[in-house]
Structure 1
């Protein structure tokens, strides 16, 4: 690093150190040197004053325009302003004396995409995101209908049912951040579901298998959310973002869907007329997210709670010959998750996370009766996620995610890709 020493003391020292004889003999030359020294000193003072004025003016302009690179002044060395950017600062100094001007590097595109996925960007832009995801689950259930004779021999019917479910989801999401602390979003999904039902033991034969498929597509439950940045990331605190979301029952409700016997199963296999694409009830969720940059990694964690509101239906029975009015109360859900991401370069980052969701048991109430708990309606779903984020340009990026279910209630595998585009 270059060091600039004040010129006035140095030049005066040199001038006073000259031999007296030479000064006496060369009065004209000495006068000329003194004049040049004075001019040079005045120029140095003028440049230093101009630099101070320009640096102050630049700070004022950038303070009035959030999102631009911030200039900070330091007394000794390059000390970046930690609250100005999530990315480390690049130290480039300009000036003279003990005062320097430091410019911070802008956040990388890959890091911005990670922030957008985990909470919100608050970049004062409108973002339109299209995405598609595929999930698959394979579940087997064993049913015993009979009794034990002599505590060793089972007499009755044994059924082994298997359900293979595939879901293809198309998402359209719009996001807008009017300030650097507030963001709104709206999500509209379309679901196409395909389920294969099979049952072993049709007609009391262990070799007979009844199989049928059901598929249909429809709009899912539309949701809207708001994000508020409570604490902005600094050297000591992570980004803390509160979120609130409301989901409307715009999808096909699962209540009142009739189940009919498969023709070749002998009453051993029942199939739904159609598959639901929504929960059928209103839901509200609240949560908090924490994000901290620890160069070169980004750490994140989140907590959430979802409440489902009671809703009455004209029919909640699955029997095609019965119509039963009633109400449904889905169990509330708790969710948590944590993970980290590495920004490999300006455009690409890798992420790993784990998320878990706990759901309480649901309850139903037929008209004129008390609430009854639905056995087996509670769940515990854990998913291990791996993601790759790639910034295609300054406005477009691609987010790929692979989820692997680690509990019986979670989908076996989920694959998704999203394309956010900022305007």
Structure 2
């Protein structure tokens, strides 16, 4: 606060001093709450938060490059019923307690092809530790690389919802779960290629941003397998299609702090299995639902670090997911 020297001739009467003191206090409060130069506004913070939440809601300018680092930890604990398929029926052997701990380091690069078109590639590095009644093991390997694009068909306007069309191709570069031999490590990939198309909508009503998404995923089959599964040999797996949707909101508590609450659900059709002896079987439909809680902290006018905690709501979901998103382009 700057203090100005006031000539004695303009000093007002002592009786008016309380009024001036109140006015000075109010001015100081307004100065403290006012947005500082370079601090940005809540809308910019919300856009950065949306980008970190799903990386689908905002685009970057033409010829710009944005690098991002994500790290997440997930825990899955379940009691698995070990069965064998014989003569078309399932035979119960025992019940195993399985625990899986996964740390995923993901490096992402986004490039602005046009102002309304962004291309991106993601490289995940996965460390997974699994502990079961029969064995335990640790694997460190690359995961499934993703290549995709985001397209904004209409110009973004402040008073209208933003619409983004997304497409992504997942390459089976990680260790396939269908080719893992018992005792040789853990899978770090899906084992199959897949393509996803989606639609995302967001609207900023300062200091709140509303967002939602829907997507469809189709996977290629895994062929030419030779994996021992009980007393049979698995030769082919055809994953079923899946549909996902999500919704949530971000709220700017101040010019430097934002919070997010979102819900995501994915419904996957059963996979078709084929064995060497000609037997075919199909798994049950799976539903994964996760509640996400996030906190964004602006460390600079252009950089926001986001932390998140995900809680699994269905038996097919991870029990716990903890993550951090850090832009590498400062």
Question: What TM-score bracket applies, with the shorter chain setting the length?
Answer: 0.7 to 0.9
CA offsets per residue over residues 52-90 of structure 1, 9 Å max, x none?
A: xxxxxxxxxxxxxxxxxxxxxxxxxxxxxxxxxxxxxx9
C-alpha spacing 1:396/1:351, structure 2 compared with 1 (3 Å):
same
* Deviations 1:340-374 (CA, angstroms, capped at 9, x unpaired): 0111222221000000011110112346847x233
Shift of 1:143: 6.5
Aligned to 1:374: 282
Structure showing the higher helix proportion among its residues: 1
Q: 1:235 to 1:396 in 2, by over 3 A?
A: closer
Distance 1:165 1:243, change over 3 A: same
Q: Distance in 2 between matches of 1:143 and 1:241?
A: 43
Q: 2:294 aligns with which of 353, 376, 387?
A: 387
Q: Any residues of structure 2 matched to 1:233-252 within 5 Å, and which?
A: 233-234=156-157, 237-252=160-175
Q: Determine if the alignment matches structure 1 residue 189 to structure 2 residue 124.
A: yes
Aligned pairs for 1:222-261 (under 5 A) are 222-234=145-157, 237-259=160-182
Once the two structures are superposed, what CA deviation does each residue of 1:17-37 show, in whole Å capped at 9, x if it has no partner?
xxxxxxxxxxxxxxxxxxxxx
2:42 and 2:252 in contact (8 A); partners too: no
* Residue of structure 1 in register with 2:268 after alignment: 359
Look up the SS of the partner of 2:123 in the other structure. Answer: strand
Write the deviation string for residues 260-314 of structure 1: whole angstroms up to 9, x where unpaired: xxxxxxxxxxxx4321111111100000000001222100000011000123124
SS of corresponding position for 2:315: coil
Is 1:108–1:346's contact at 8 Å kept on the other side of the alignment?
A: no
Q: Secondary structure at the match of 1:122?
A: coil
Unaligned runs of 5+ in 2: 1-34, 85-90
- Asked whether the equivalents of residues 109 and 391 of structure 1 are also in contact (C-alpha less than 8 Å), the reply is no
Match of 1:300 among 208, 211, 215: 211
Which whole-Å CA distance do the structure 1 matches of 2:223 and 2:186 have between them?
20
State which of 54, 58, 70 in structure 2 corresponds to 1:121. Answer: 58
* Partner residue, 1:172: 107
**Which protein is bigger by CA-based radius of gyration?**
1
Does residue 276 (structure 1) correspond to residue 187 (structure 2)? The answer is yes
- The residue number in structure 1 matching 2:9 is none
Offset of 1:215 from its aligned partner?
1.5
Structure 1 residues 419 and 236: CA distance shift in structure 2, 3 A: closer
Question: 1:182-240 CA distances to partner (integer Å, 9 max, x unpaired)?
Answer: 11111000111111112xxxxxxxxxxxx632221110000011000123443653100
C-alpha spacing 1:351/1:109, structure 2 compared with 1 (3 Å): same
State the SS of the aligned residue for 2:176: coil
Larger strand share, 1 or 2: 2
* Larger RCO (CA under 8 A, 6+ residues apart): 2
* Other-structure match for 2:69: 130
* 2:47 maps to 1:112: yes
Greater mean alpha carbon deviation, residues 181-190 or residues 123-132: 123-132
Report the CA distance between 1:106 and its aligned residue: 5.8
Report SS of the residue matched to 1:111. Answer: helix
CA displacement, residues 320-354 of structure 1 (integer Å, 9 cap, x when unaligned): x98x5733211111100000011122222100000
TM-score, length-scaled by structure 2: 0.78
2:309 to 379, 391, 402: 402
Cα 1:421–1:159 change in 2 (3 A) is same
Instruction: Give the number of equivalent residue pairs.
Output: 282
Give matches, 1:71-150, under 5 Å: 108-117=43-52, 118=54, 119-124=56-61, 125-141=64-80
